[in-house]
Structure 1
Amino acid sequence: MAKNFLKSSIENASLNILLQIAFRCQTFILNAHVLRYVSQDEVGVTNVRLLLLESTVLFLSREAFRRACLTDTINHNWPKVVNLIWLAVSLCVAICGLFGYIWLNILEQPSSSVTIYYNFGVWAILISCVMELCCEQLYIIAQSFLFVKLQVVLEIINIMVRTIVYTTLVLSWSGQNSVLAFSLAQLASVFAYTISFYVYFWYYIKHQNKDFPFKSMWDFFPNISNKKWSECLDIPLVMLLWSFMKQGLMKQLLTDGERYVMTFFNTLKFDQQGVYDIVNNLGSLAARFLFKPVEAASYFYFSQLVHRDIPIKKQIEQDSNKVKEATSVLECLLRINSSVGLVALSFGQAYAKLALFLYGGSSLALGIGPILLKLHCLAILFLAVNGITECYAAATMNVTELNKYNIEMVMLSVIFLFISFLLSWFLGGVGFILANCFNFTFRIIQCGRYILFQYKDTNFKPLNGLLPKKSFIVCLILSTILTLYSEEKYYENNKIIHVLNGGIMFVLTISIWLFEEISTFKFLAKVYRSKHN
């Protein structure tokens, strides 16, 4: 099968961004309505306690498998790869048993006045995680063979089913039993997602292309045929998987560290957790809309063009154009992501209160929420840069470098958890956001050092993408000052004028940015056209 990795990665990222914008906007509107019916305590139970369980189980069960099995997919021995991926299901069951016991028997339980369906919610999360892992091999195959539109459609199905079921149940029950509604929506959406994957591939195999290596549905299931383990599994891939698994635990602690601290040490009550999560979700819209799909597509792209086990100098000697393209794309992505983060930081200061007012009503806009959201805009900038640098490092490090990076991540995880606990004890939710900024800063430094070392004796300088243009920075500073003045003068009495002022400055800022970065977009368009043709 002829493959075009850059073209596919751009299409994947573009379609996912459009999907995220379309359906997250729908979800945003529905959630804004639902929040007026659901208590902040129940939001804390579902969006912090239960979703933390889901993210923990899924990340530890599948993240390492995805990263390992999406490396150099052209040379895969697919029967061995499928056997390896199915080990993730067994791992998921074991992890579910461990964390299910912790969530049901060790952690503080919500009182009956908050919800009586907490136990059912835990079981719903555990069952849905195992169910989702049963189609993991199909996800990796779809990614490897560039089934871009399939993944977008299935994500649509997942989001639609979850949103429709949850919203319908909450509104039908007048805001009562929202934890039960959340649990049923979780099961329904994952079931629809998994079944859709199998139905599509059943249909595809029935009308398959001759180049597709899977000839029946049984090829998607493990086949050991009384062979030795060494003959059933790709051993180099197993070694790479082990490196990613060690890294994954630390990355999960760093990603959701504040949720673990507030869950295990009770530094915030459930209602405070609810407010923090609402602000976090609102502040992370850019991450979900843009950064996450770009990072997923970028990881796949870099893992195909840059070889892990060959020094970069030797790769330049073998094919300098390929390395030049990869470094130029990395520089462009850093420039775009950091610019988005700077825009969010600039305009977030004057419009945090208004965003919370529109999203959750006056009660959310009057408390500590606006302060949390303003600080979260700073975290978005760090998150934007960290996502690209970390995905490049993970896609190109060899096993030795990954193991060294894992040791550094262990140290950083311990420091981060300690700082999160300490700052949240004194500053509450503000402390968590400051700890996250500290966390992202050190992760950026780690990955930046790796990139600098990799290209230190070459003519490539991909980290130059972190340097914004002068006119863009001046416009951002001016926008921040003028929009803060607008908030002070017009927010209370004339919010429409405040919005119009911000809209004018936003259009001006983006116009200047597009003008200054026209060479960046021309390069990406040129590379895309050359690959497309």
Structure 2
Amino acid sequence: MGRDILKSSFENASFSIIFQVLFRLITFILNAFIIRTVGQEVLGIMNVRLTLLESTILFLSKEPLLKACLTGTKSHNWAQVVNQIWLSIPVPAVIGLILTYVWINLLSPTDEKYWPQYILGCYAIALSCVIEQMTQVFVLVAQSFCFVKIKIIIDTLYVVSRTLIFVYIVRANPSQSINSFSIAQVVSAVIMFLLYFGFFAWYIQGLNRFRIEGVHENRAENIYSNMSDFPFTSILHFFPGMLSNKENILNTNLCFLTFGFMKQSILKQVLTEGEKYVMTVSPLLTFSQQSMYDIVNNLGSLAARFIFRPIEDSAYFYFTQMIKRGEPVVKQNQKLVSESAEVLSHLCRVVISIGLLVFVFGQSYSYSFLFIYGGHNLVENTLPVTMLRFHSLAVVLLAINGVTEGFVLATIGSKELDRYNYLMVIFSITFLMIAYLFTYFVGPVGFILANCVNMAVRIGHSIIFTKKKYKDTKYNPLSGLIPGYKFVTGLVMSGIITKLSEVGKNEPMFNCFVGYSQVEFNMVGFQVYILEKSMVLHIGIGAACFVFTLIMWALENRQLLKLGYAQYKRKSLTKSD
């Protein structure tokens, strides 16, 4: 494969971050629209109950297959891979029917006026997951052959089309909001399939002409260069049995690896969406309370969703290509091992730095952030502020876990993966018990505390695995998890100053707002209040402290900044050429 895997991984992370920002911005606006148009209960049904059904089906069907097939793409028999993906389509269909029955008949019912729409919504989610599984053959090829931009473009069009369809129908008939959600899910899934199909049909036609005619236009060179190993010469080759194959129909090792990842995905899904499962199965929170928790949870997870998840996905792909799965690193190509160790160290340094910034400034600016976002109604109860502050602690643990666990899953062998799955069973059971108990005693904050405990345990396992992986080498990639003293000094000073600013301006508990003039304006359908003196001054102090902390970090990480600048400059020169 003549493509630059590291460069592709960086591009994938960059474009994914942009996509995540766009997606969360759309969700941010859409949630405000839903609350003001149809109410919090409907938001709880859609954003918690139905989206949990969707994520469960996809994690059990799409995630294991994609992770397994991304391993060692250079040596793939693509006919076998295509067959395996299409033969996996009954999996989401069966899982969808089973879970739809559970969601309709065994879980707590919705309000009677929403019940018919809720039933249709469950079946629509199951159907959209089947359509999305049919798209995975295109997604896998796009990622394996570094079609980074087209993947992000289609994902963006998918989200935008789903949102526009939903808003268009709801504006015409607000009482059919859940039906609108169902229609938008199915139609957008079909649109995504057609977009991928159309792109590869166009691309293969041009590639075939380029190979035959030897066209040397700059545009053609950029699109078709380094694609001599692209195995598809017809769009029909993306369907089962159409690509030439002299071996077995399926790759046995790939099937076993997929099954191993399926077991691991079940556990990871419970750990990732555990709080939603607890909310869904138990009557601890009403749909309205669930929607409020979901809003605060999304706001608290902005850094994790915008930055850490794309980095984790790209790091996983990068390490699968650089480190052979299950083989000791001392027996592998030492140049690749050295580069991967350095990349892992830099990734650890970057994500923990971002996490610590969020944690420190989150303690003093959770109230301000919620106040600007939702006004007095959102912060009149101290619970959302407390939840957001605890979320900032969870962000640090999520940052570390995303990269370290991504490395583990990218390099672990099949037998080790089975042992890891058993550990994840223990983690899952413990997490569910802790989540329920914490929530019973301290309310929604218990979900966050349980996640913190869960993340800490998983980080510990990943650190042990990585240390064993490199124990007979000179490399110590986990050294990046230890921040430098200059950066820590900046964080401590900023934390003290901003906390004094918060308490001094708003003591006690932000109640000294009387006497300050307010500016009120509409933004995306909800009221935003800016306190011209205390709030603005408090934010200004935080901005100055933030810049100071960044300068301290930059002084301590000159080498990493130079490396990033060199990569950026090399990319710019490549584009200009």
Quote how far apart the aligned CAs of 1:515 are.
Answer: 2.6
Please say which of residues 453-462 and 29-38 is displaced more in the overlay.
29-38
Task: Note the residue ranges of structure 2 that are not aligned, 5 or more in a row.
Answer: 212-227, 517-530
Residue 315 of structure 2: aligned partner: 298
| One-letter amino acid matched to 2:538 | H
| CA distance in structure 2 between the partners assigned to 1:279 and 1:109 by the alignment | 24
Residue identity in the other structure for 1:218 = L
The residue number in structure 2 matching 1:351 is: 365
Query: Given that residues 93 and 127 in structure 2 are in contact (C-alpha distance below 8 angstroms), is that contact kept between their aligned partners in structure 1?
Result: no
8 Å CA contact 2:304–2:399 kept in 1: the answer is yes
CA contact (8 A) 1:36 1:361 kept: no
Question: 1:349 Cα deviation (Å)?
Answer: 1.5
CA distance in 1, matches of 2:567, 2:339: 8
**3-state SS of 1:253 partner:** helix
The one-letter code of the counterpart of 1:381 is: V
Corresponding residue for residue 236 of structure 1: 253
1:529 positional shift: 7.0
Identify the residue that residue 511 of structure 1 maps to in structure 2.
Answer: 551
**Which string of whole-angstrom CA distances, capped at 9 and with x for unpartnered residues, describes residues 250-294 of structure 1?**
111111111111111222111111111111111111122111111
Out of 12-21 and 197-206, give the one that drifted further: 12-21
How many pairs align?
528
Q: Does 1:328 align with 2:337?
A: no
Quote the residue 1:119 is aligned against: 119
Q: Is the 8 A contact 2:83 2:239 kept in 1?
A: yes
Q: Aligned AA for 2:231?
A: P
Q: Which moved more, 1:375-384 or 1:510-519?
A: 510-519
Match of 2:422 in 1: 407
Q: Which residue number in structure 1 is paired with residue 302 of structure 2?
A: 285
Deviations 1:472-500 (A, max 9, x none): 11221222222223233156343222222
CA distance in 2, matches of 1:348, 1:88: 44
**Paired residues of 2:109 and 2:115 also in contact (CA < 8 A):** no
Residue range with higher mean Cα deviation, 486-495 or 236-245: 486-495
Matched, 1:222 2:236: no
When the two chains are superposed, the root-mean-square deviation of aligned CA atoms in Å is 2.2
SS in 2 for 1:45: helix
Q: What corresponds to 2:292 in structure 1?
A: 275
Tell me the distance in 1 between the aligned counterparts of 2:492 and 2:169. 46
Q: Provide the residue aligned with 2:130 in structure 1.
A: 130
Report whether the alignment pairs 1:455 with 2:485: no
Structure 1 equivalent of residue 391 of structure 2: 376
Q: Give the secondary structure class of the aligned counterpart of 2:94.
A: helix
- Give me the whole-angstrom Cα distance separating, in 2, the residues matched to 1:478 and 1:35: 39
Cα distance in 1 for partners of 2:494, 2:251 equals: 55
1:282-327 deviations in Å (ceiling 9; x for gaps): 1111122111111111111000000014211111xxx322111001
Range moving further from structure 2, 269-278 or 361-370: 361-370
Distance 1:87 1:446 in 2: 34
Provide the TM-score with structure 1 as the length reference.
Answer: 0.94
431-440 vs 26-35, which moves further: 26-35
Query: C-alpha separation between the residues in 1 aligned to 2:57 and 2:378?
Result: 31
Contact 1:115 1:179 in 2 (8 A): no
TM-aligned CA deviation for residue 518 of structure 1: 2.1
Preserved CA contact (<8 Å) 1:92 1:133: yes
Q: Measure, in 1, the Cα distance between the counterparts of 2:93 and 2:116.
A: 25
Q: Is the 8 A contact 2:13 2:311 kept in 1?
A: yes
**C-alpha distance 359-184 of structure 1, shift in aligned 2 (>3 A):** farther
User: 1-side partners of 2:372 and 2:184: how far apart?
Assistant: 25
Contact 1:60 1:249 in 2 (8 A): yes
Q: Which runs of 5+ in 1 are unaligned?
A: none
Contact residue 329 and residue 470 of structure 2 kept, 8 A: yes
Q: Distance in 2 between matches of 1:21 and 1:226?
A: 41
Residue matched to 1:181: 180
Contact 1:11 1:148 in 2 (8 A): yes
- Please tell me whether Structure 1 or Structure 2 has the larger radius of gyration of its CA atoms: 2
Matches of 1:449 and 1:268 in 2, distance apart? 37
Partner in structure 2 of residue 467 of structure 1: 482
Higher relative contact order by CA 8 Å / sep ≥ 6: 1 or 2?
1
CA distance in 2, matches of 1:321, 1:529: 23
Bigger Cα displacement from structure 2, 371-380 vs 215-224:
215-224
Deviation at 1:530, TM superposition (A): 7.7
Tell me, yes or no, if the aligned pair for 2:79 and 2:245 is still in contact at 8 Å: no
Match of 1:144 in 2: 144
- CA deviation map 1:446-493 (0-9, x unaligned): 111100111112111011111011121122122222222323315634
The residue type equivalent to 1:269 in the other structure is: T
Corresponding residue of 2:21: 21
* CA deviation vs aligned residue, 1:411-452 (integer Å, no higher than 9, x gap): 111111111111111111111110000110111111111001
One of 255, 263, 275 as aligned partner of 1:246: 263
